[in-house]
Amino acid sequence: MALGRGLGELLGEVETAYENNIDIDTNQIKEVLVDDIKPNPYQPRKIFDEEKLQELSESIKNHGLLQPIILVEDENFKYIVVAGERRLRATKLANIDTIKAIILDIDEKKLREYALIENIQRSDLNILEIAYSYGSLINEHNITHDELAKMVSKSRSSVTNILRLLSLSVYTQQMISANKITHGHAKLIIGLSEDEQKMVVDSIIGQRLSVRETEKLVRDIKSKDNISKNNTKEIKKYDFSPLKSLIKELKDDNFNVRITKDSINIKITSQDDIENLLKYFNKKDKN
């Protein structure tokens, strides 16, 4: 899927220019009223660390904003943030009225795609936020895991494993988002029932289990599940009442007949038993 000149590339150029004190085209950077900017509705990050925002706000007060945010024009509002929502929030927190920005000409169709890719590549999204971003890109742009892997510079297996986190229960996902359990823990829980996931997650948190300890716990649970499934098969009991008369005849003919939960056993103790059994069924066939 061709993206053209990616947003990540442009941001990298701007950042490098500032680091090396290279003048960039001042026509690219504008001072924009913060009240004229609205957040990107496609922003995958929903929670921002308030303490870190406060730290960034103080830095902007003392040193100014070193890297401009990236905006696009909007017909219903003046501008929408494509990249730099955290910087915008920190600027507002510092009670500064304007912010440095670069205005890009991006059609609406690409807005979500750029926002997702920019966040995946450049911010500290937790693993679940990345999973949802991957899912959104795949669903909305109809791309394969291989194509997504190339877009975000990851291996296909890495992309697939991250996407599998979306199959976890709501409770487990909440604990991942809250950084209560790690990606290493989470991927071990995939495939467990909702109740089993909760039990494992609570054990990880309460007992501070390592990934290796969690792996053993999950292995034990799966082993018990297999035993339980086998036992379920063993306890099936069939209704042999339709064969009641046949069983009675066999017993009357001195056959040692034993009924189990899922079978009728005729015990053979001698060659005579075999011959008598053959005579019995031959007699039945003639009748």
Where along the chain do its domains lie? 7-108, 168-234, 241-286
213 vs 216: CA distance, rounded Å: 5
Residue 10 has pLDDT above 90, yes or no: no
- Residue numbers annotated as active site: 85
The residue assigned the tokens 């009728």 is: 264
Fold exhibited by the domain 7-108: 3.90.1530
What per-residue confidence (pLDDT) applies to 109? 53
69, 91 Cβ separation under 8 angstroms: no
* Closest C-alpha among 40, 34, 161 to residue 90: 34
For residue 285, the SS3 value is: helix
Task: Quote the CA–CA distance of 271 and 176 in Å, as a whole number.
Answer: 68
If DSSP codes are grouped into helix, strand and coil, which group holds residue 69? strand
Average pLDDT score over residue span 182-202: 92
Q: Which pLDDT does position 195 carry in this prediction?
A: 92
- Label residue 206 by pLDDT band (50, 70, 90): very high
Q: Is the dihedral of CA 259, 262, 266, 267 positive or negative?
A: negative
On average, the pLDDT of the chain sits at 76
pLDDT at 27: 62
Task: Look at residues 266, 235, 241, 270 and name the one whose alpha carbon lies nearest to residue 251.
Answer: 266
Calculate mean pLDDT across residues 164-174: 92
Beta bridge partners of 258: 265
What's the token pair of residue 153?
């510079």
| 87's tokens | 């910087």
**How far is residue 27's CA from residue 169's CA, in Å, rounded to a whole number?**
49
Q: What is the layout of strands, in order, in the sheet containing 69-73?
A: 29-33, 98-104, 69-73, 79-83, 37-38
User: Is the model's pTM score more than 0.75?
Assistant: no
Tell whether the model's pLDDT for residue 154 goes beyond 60. yes
Contacts of 222 (CB under 8 A, 6+ apart): 192
